[in-house]
Structure 1
Amino acid sequence: MTRTALTALRTCLVTMLLTGLLYPLAITGAAQLMFPHQADGSLVLDPRDSTKVLGSELIGQRFVHPGYLHSRPSAAGKAGWDAAASSGSNLGPTSSALRERIDGELVRLIAENPDAPGPVPAELLTASGSGLDPHLSPDAARWQVPRIAASRGVKAERVHAVVEAALEGREFGMLGEPRINVLLVNLALDRQFGLPTE
């Protein structure tokens, strides 16, 4: 019995050492060597102060000023945008709460974007699975261009050019869909046109 217990204990200790220490260290080291920016969270630093983190390319943020590209709604946490409570709303297609939220978003978006072309893109009405998606489809970003241009007092074509320059294609040319990172576009808008006025 004692011999079996010692063998089990040794096996447990070796397994814990391998999977709890050596494997994580090896993966962390490899990630830092091959993908240091991504391994550190894809942080976006302020170009004027490299010690100030503005956000991450991987975590969405809420933007409400009309001079910025707006993210899709967030269901992460009670008030949304809580990175510690990342999740979708879990509301089904027959949910009256979901219908009320979408109706409210639709009214708000139409009021905020009176010159937007065509119907409101569905993703601007619904939260993503994580509730913190940092990307929009190109169509959802383009739909917001007239509002951004009017707020910043520039021609829509100039804002459109900034949005198009930020277009990210499919990974390896075949995985995922084309997308636009909201934070990166908003920073590019500030670089191109300055900070929006109140």
Structure 2
Amino acid sequence: MLKNIRTVFVLLFICGIAYPLLMTMLAQVIMPVKAEGSLIKNESGEIIGSEMIGQSFKDPGYFHGRISSINYDAAVSGAPNYSPSNKEMIERTLNDIEEFLNENPTVDKADVPSDLMTNSASGLDPNVSPQGAIVQVPRIANERGLSEKSLYNLVDEYTESRSFGLFGEPRINVLKLNIALDELE
């Protein structure tokens, strides 16, 4: 019996204390920015957000990200598991498309990128497709008085390619793009 109790405490120490501390220290040494949450700070060192967590941008002068059913609340990550035939999901999607078309009158209904109308699995995706940013350019140019060409160049500059040239799709981090957008003015 005493041997079993010692074994439990040894394993508790190894698995519950030593291993997590070792992994945390290794992460801090190998990839300190990611270990700290990939935080984006302004010139004065104030935290603006994280590269890994999407934010809500409602102002028409900014690029908008994906829809989040959890309002970008990282404490409750997740998305509803509605089927494509779910009545509530269909209504929400149709309403979101109408709202998007009202904000972006130069876009045809058939050209609305699906990533702007759908949740990610976590509800926190910080990225949109390049097309998702491109269709918003006329609205932002009009709101900010900037040339569309300068905004298209900005979208090109902030488009990230597939990871390792193989995984995922080209994408744009909306927070980084909007920070760069503010710096244009």
Q: Scaled by the length of structure 2, what TM-score is found?
A: 0.96
Tell me which residue corresponds to 2:151.
159
SS of structure 2 residue aligned to 1:157: helix
Tell me which residue corresponds to 2:123.
131
Unpaired runs of at least 5, structure 1: 194-198
What aligned pairs does 1:92-171 form with structure 2 within 5 A after superposition? 92-116=83-107, 119-171=111-163
Q: What is the distance in 2 between the residues matched to 1:178 and 1:11?
A: 50
Which 4+ stretches in 1 moved above 2 angstroms? none
Tell me which residue corresponds to 1:196.
none
CA RMSD of aligned residues (A): 1.1
Q: What is the distance in 2 between the residues matched to 1:125 and 1:20?
A: 42
How far 1:176 moved relative to its partner?
1.5
Tell me which residue corresponds to 2:40.
44
How far 1:6 moved relative to its partner?
1.3
SS of structure 2 residue aligned to 1:65: coil
Tell me which residue corresponds to 1:188.
180
How far 1:109 moved relative to its partner?
0.4
Deviations along 1:111-130, one digit per CA (max 9) or x if unpaired, are 10012366111111111111
Percent identity (aligned): 42
Deviations along 1:113-149, one digit per CA (max 9) or x if unpaired, are 0123661111111111111110001111111111111
How far 1:171 moved relative to its partner?
1.5
SS of structure 2 residue aligned to 1:180: strand
Q: What is the distance in 2 between the residues matched to 1:73 and 1:127?
A: 5
2:29 to 33, 55, 59: 33
Tell me which residue corresponds to 1:85.
76
Unpaired runs of at least 5, structure 2: none
Aligned residues: 184
1:66 to 57, 60, 83: 60
Contact 1:116-1:146 within 8 A present in 2 as well: no
Q: What is the distance in 1 between the residues matched to 2:8 and 2:103?
A: 60
1:55 to 49, 55, 62: 49
Deviations along 1:9-65, one digit per CA (max 9) or x if unpaired, are 111111111111111111111110111100000011012x11x11100000000011
Q: What is the distance in 1 between the residues matched to 2:167 and 2:18?
A: 32
